[in-house]
């Protein structure tokens, strides 16, 4: 295995990694997803509050096609997709950390290769001085 030259190492260090760009995109997407889910869940909370403002007797006596049953159906339908949508946002956030950690590992290896390439030159300079 050959040791990369200092020029190759400089060019590697100057490039922005695709991994960190991907992590940033995932974090941005996660933030938007969680914010959308939060707004939807706040609206859902208000809808639920309006529904439960009616007495139990009124809710139980609601006839088919009434506004109360429609409201209950909307609450249940939105709840069924909003909570998994929020978890998707958190999963994207965690995946972004995975990409960032892989990038950190790549940079640590780059630093090790840089030290391996430069150390003989530094030792030679010290011996000359």
Per-residue pLDDT of the chain (129 residues; tens, 9 = 90+): 566 676 777 777 777 788 889 999 999 999 999 999 999 999 999 998 988 888 888 877 778 878 788 888 888 898 889 999 999 999 999 999 999 999 889 888 888 888 888 888 888 888 886
What pLDDT sits at residue 118?
80
What pLDDT sits at residue 1?
54
Residue 39 to residues 43, 49, 63, 86, 117, Cα–Cα distance (Å) = 6, 15, 30, 11, 53
What pLDDT sits at residue 81?
92
- The residue extents of the domains of the chain are 17-124
Residue 106 to residues 13, 20, 70, 111, Cα–Cα distance (Å) = 10, 11, 54, 9
What pLDDT sits at residue 67?
77
What pLDDT sits at residue 35?
96
Distance CA 30, CA 36 (A): 10
CB 48 within 8 A of CB 75: yes
Beta-carbon count within 10 A of 23 CB: 21
What pLDDT sits at residue 26?
95
């Amino acid at each position: 295995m050959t040791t990369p030259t200092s020029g190759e190492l400089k060019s590697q260090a100057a490039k922005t990694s695709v991994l960190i760009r991907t992590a940033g995109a995932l974090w941005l997407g996660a933030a938007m997803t969680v914010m959308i889910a939060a707004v939807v869940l706040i609206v859902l909370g208000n809808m639920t509050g309006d529904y439960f403002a009616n007495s139990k007797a009124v809710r139980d006596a609601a006839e088919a096609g009434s506004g109360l049953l429609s409201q209950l159906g909307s609450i249940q339908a939105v709840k069924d997709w909003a909570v998994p949508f929020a978890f998707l946002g958190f999963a994207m956030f965690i995946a972004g950390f995975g990409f960032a950690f892989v990038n950190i590992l790549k940079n640590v290896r780059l630093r090790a290769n840089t030290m391996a390439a430069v150390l003989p030159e530094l030792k030679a300079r010290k011996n000359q001085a």
